Amino acid sequence: MGSGEITITEAEQRRASARILDVREDFEVAEGMIPGALHIPMGQLQARLGELDPAVPVIAVCRSGNRSAAVADALNGAGYKADTMAGGMSAWTRAGLPTT
């Protein structure tokens, strides 16, 4: 089963019930991330999978939506329920949504 793509509005609405997973690199996260998000760079995901609760839906986020789609597909294949946020942090920031 492939991942679903959700809008930034849907991601904002689901933040309280889902785990936002930021898969960008450290230098990208330094520019700001979604409040409460868990930062695990894409290359570290396999080693840090235990930090995610399989019972909590995941919304994967990257800069534009490409890496997060691959991560969401991998998480779904590993038994998680994961979606990707269309447009990534670029769209989130353009919309004026909160960052830390």
Q: Where are the alpha helices (DSSP H) in the chain?
A: 8-14, 26-29, 45-48, 66-77, 88-94
CA distance 50 to 55: 12
Question: Six-digit token pair at 43?
Answer: 């290359």
What are the structure tokens assigned to 85, written together? 């946020």
Phi-psi region of 16 (alpha: psi -120 to 50; beta: other; left: phi over 0): alpha
Catalytic residue (one of 42, 62, 69, 71): 62
In the residue annotation, 62 being an active-site residue is answered as yes
Residues that are catalytic:
62
